[in-house]
Amino acid sequence: MADAVDKLARLMSWESFGDLLTIFWENLTLPNSDNSTIIYDLVVFHASSDPLISAIRAGLGFAFACWFQSMATGNHSWVDKLWSILPVLYAIHFSIRDMLYWPKDTPFVYVPRVYIATALILIWGVRLTYNFARKGGYGFDSEDYRWPYLAERIPTGLWLLFNIFFICLFQNLLLVAMTAPVYTAWRATLATVTPLNWIDLLAVVGFVAGLALETMADEQQWVFQEGKKKAIADKETLTGDNKRGFLTQGLFKYSRHPNFFGEMTIWWSVYLFSVAAAYPTHVAWINPSIVGVVALTLLFQISTTLTEHMASQKYPAYKLYKKTTSRLIPLPTGTPLDEVEKKSL
């Protein structure tokens, strides 16, 4: 038992993950192979590699592909098109790798926690992909409106570097890091298989709550935007939120970005699976796989600030909306926006 505790503590340590990244850095190249055995050699290479290292390699490959596409097309939203797809693939990779290479004469060790986390991420990915697709996000020319806005304001040389290191490289590695808790839950089984516990239940409840919040917010935003387009196309007299230009009702009455809050709740819940994987043998509420969700949370703070800056320039009433409604966390409203607008006249 003591050996299992020590091994689990070591596997969950920052030093252990640091050693893993060192191994990755020292083995960046693909194996040498002649054409006749390249598939076999790649399979052996994958089987002998740590799953996280394989995922990071894939992330670098997707980063290069996104950069190449952005330079070839002038469109910088290639990572956006992969945002709901790659985390699903990484989670599946972590969950089925053992099934691919498990010794035939050894009883297979099932890891329900990893499978549950992967199933939830799959549901998240399907829903988000659908929502992105119905807005036309997968159109060849579709681009996040914030990228052209920034490109016009950042010097060309700096923009090229921003595209390489932030849009393509950082965001692709972030997609790997977001799913690292699933890897950590798998990695913990190298020491001991921890039964499902109350932290897993908390993770599932938090994930479902975040997914429900994000789904409802996206649906309300979709209905509003489609209604506004129709009203403008029909040359109707615009009133209420249609006149303001942005949604302030439903969940948006309690949070200016309830979908963002739902998304963060989802990934903090995924992180809890990594904590549960060692509990109670090794109680560590903070482990290295927290890096991904912390980075995602900080990214949301930055993107929200930019989005609201642009909204305030476009919609005069948005500054008043900021005074009456919580930024992210859904909270009871203060003075109704209609009253604030009347007082400002």
Q: What is the mean pLDDT of the chain?
A: 92
Across the range 155-167, mean pLDDT stands at 97
pLDDT exceeds cutoff 80 at 120: yes
Whole-number Å distance between alpha carbons of 162 and 148 = 13
Q: What angle do CA 271, 208, 125 make, to 5 degrees?
A: 75
| pLDDT tens-place string over residues 253-306 | 999 999 999 999 999 999 999 999 999 888 889 999 999 999 999 999 999 999
| pLDDT tens-place string over residues 171-213 | 999 999 999 999 999 999 988 889 999 999 999 999 999 999 9
Beta strands in the chain, from DSSP E residues, in sequence order: none
pLDDT value at residue 345: 65
Share of the chain above pLDDT 90, in %: 75
From the list 204, 217, 14, 189, the residue with the least C-alpha distance to 110 is 189
pLDDT value at residue 106: 81
Residue identified by tokens 């917010």 is 217
| pLDDT tens-place string over residues 240-257 | 999 999 999 999 999 999
pLDDT value at residue 36: 62
H and E: helices and strands count for the chain: 17, 0
Per-residue confidence at 335, pLDDT binned at 50, 70, 90? confident
Whole-number Å distance between alpha carbons of 204 and 339 = 40
Per-residue confidence at 152, pLDDT binned at 50, 70, 90? very high
pLDDT exceeds cutoff 60 at 1: no
Whole-number Å distance between alpha carbons of 43 and 47 = 6
pLDDT exceeds cutoff 80 at 317: yes
Please count the CA atoms within 13 angstroms of the CA of 34 that sit on its side-chain side. 1
pLDDT value at residue 329: 96
